[in-house]
Amino acid sequence: MLEKSFLNLDDTIASISTAWGEAGIAIVRLSGPQALDIAEKAFRGIKPLKDTPPRYMRNGFLLDERGAPIDEVLGVWFRAPKSYTGEDVVEIHCHGGLLVASKCLELLTAQGARLAEPGEFTQRAFLNGRIDLTQAEAVLGVIRAKSDEALLSAARTLRGELSARVNGIYDSLLNISATLEANLDFPEEDIPYLSQDDLFQSLKAIALNLQDVIYRCKVGKALRDGIKVAIVGRPNVGKSSIFNALLEETRAIVTPIPGTTRDIIEGSIVHRGIPIIFMDTAGLRATDDLVETIGVSMAQKALREADLRLWIIDGSEQLTKEEIDMAMELKNHSHIVAINKADIPQVISLEDVKQMLPESEIMVLSSYDKEAIGELKERIVKKLFKDSAINEGFNATARQIETLKSVLSCVENSISSLASGEPQDLVASNLLEARYYIDRLLGRNFDEDLIHLIFSQFCVGK
């Protein structure tokens, strides 16, 4: 459970909001009902901050406990509700030394401010109605973005585009629910009747809308968190060489000795805005070597859990029984097949593999061919994302995606109930549950454990 202070909006909180270390400027931020009064005790300018218009910088000095100046600073304040938190906010911009920022924070807490918890400034913005919960979580997406595309995805959610789509779905569900409930409770009244066909078509449209939102959220999550690609295959087919080529650096040891790779080695790149985490795994084979057996077990786990499997085949050798078995297993997983060692005579053709895996994407390459490796990166991205999807993603967390899936499940249950001729009150019950999940997604219905889980991931000062 949260400590009481984490949800206490009567406190005035303070924190260093810039990164720790030496820099040109450090910003110490105050938020709460006593922000101005506390700041005035540590700041001295030509005029007091309270006599300075909001959003105007005032030059002055930071005063120690004895009233002696210890730094020349800038002070600025923001009047509630037009501030980041929706409360009165004061910022003191001091020089970015390790000591002076800490001393400024110490002086403010000595005057009655409380040290902020991680994410408490953004949490107050949410509790004060400045932003909803999806926008609050998007702040963390902006901070952690690793590419321009991830940053734009987070900005879309922060601007409220995801909220607008979800609120539109909520309103549609509410309108349907209101008509259903009225028809059920007041059948004798002259209320517009919603036919089974109209209801079915409306719910189908909502389901399609939800599927699109969920897909765009998955794209946004991938832009932020990355996708995992397991490089699998039997020993000595060139997995580590492909791994090194994809990373454009030597990370894995490459030798002609089968079983060289025994542990999972990870390396990441950003391609077309998407972080891709490649996992070089141990060769899949039966072995009596204890250490290699552990490595093979880890490789099988990576194969099951990865977002995509890159199956490497040695094109210069015939397929083994184990590889044929592997082909059958891969049918149930998203994958790409790479026939490696195209720089030497081949005994396996693309058509040979196509006979085993007619629906699979297959390419022939060599780890030495930079153009082919570039094409492989493109195919990995296109395998998981539509061409336009990268520019349309919503920054989303696993929690948000699972909640949206719950909404979709409720709508699909309503459609199934209609199709099987079940009473409309069951449909109404499913739609009520769907609206509950949307309220939870947007933060209109929450508990302290949920708030703690979300905002504890933030840094102190944000």
281 among annotated binding-site residues: yes
234 among annotated binding-site residues: no
304 among annotated binding-site residues: no
- Kindly list the strands in the beta sheet with 227-232, ordered across the sheet, starting from the edge strand earlier in the chain: 265-271, 274-280, 227-232, 308-314, 335-340, 361-364
| pLDDT class of 97 with cuts at 50, 70, 90 | confident
17-21, 43-47, 211-215: the lowest-pLDDT one: 17-21
Architecture of the 4-131 domain: 2-Layer Sandwich (3.30)
pLDDT higher at 120 or 198: 120
pLDDT in tens, 371-429: 999 999 999 999 988 766 788 899 999 999 999 999 999 999 999 988 888 887 888 89
- Which element (helix H / strand E) includes 96? strand 89-96
pLDDT higher at 251 or 49: 49
CB-side neighbour CA atoms (13 Å) of 136: 30
Do the first three CATH levels of 4-131 and 226-365 match, i.e. the same topology? no
102 among annotated binding-site residues: no
- Please state which CATH number belongs to domain 226-365: 3.40.50.300
Average pLDDT over residues 279-301: 65
- Kindly list the strands in the beta sheet with 89-96, ordered across the sheet, starting from the edge strand earlier in the chain: 43-45, 58-63, 69-78, 89-96, 23-31, 13-16, 114-115
pLDDT in tens, 55-73: 999 999 999 999 999 999 9
- Please state which CATH number belongs to domain 143-222+395-443: 1.20.120.430
Per-domain boundaries in the chain: 4-131, 143-222+395-443, 226-365
pLDDT at 259 (0 to 100): 47
75 among annotated binding-site residues: no
342 among annotated binding-site residues: yes
| 365 Cβ contact partners less than 8 Å away, ≥ 6 residues apart | 338, 339, 340, 342, 372, 373, 375, 376
253 among annotated binding-site residues: no
| Spatial distance between the Cα atoms of 205 and 211, rounded to a whole number of angstroms | 10
| Spatial distance between the Cα atoms of 377 and 382, rounded to a whole number of angstroms | 9
340 among annotated binding-site residues: yes
128 among annotated binding-site residues: no
236 among annotated binding-site residues: yes
Task: Concatenate the DSSP letters of all residues of 380-446 into one string.
Answer: HHHHHS-TTGGGTPPP--HHHHHHHHHHHHHHHHHHHHHHTT--HHHHHHHHHHHHHHHHHHHTSS-
70 in Cβ contact with 64 (< 8 Å)? yes
51 among annotated binding-site residues: no
280 among annotated binding-site residues: yes
241 among annotated binding-site residues: yes
| pLDDT class of 285 with cuts at 50, 70, 90 | low
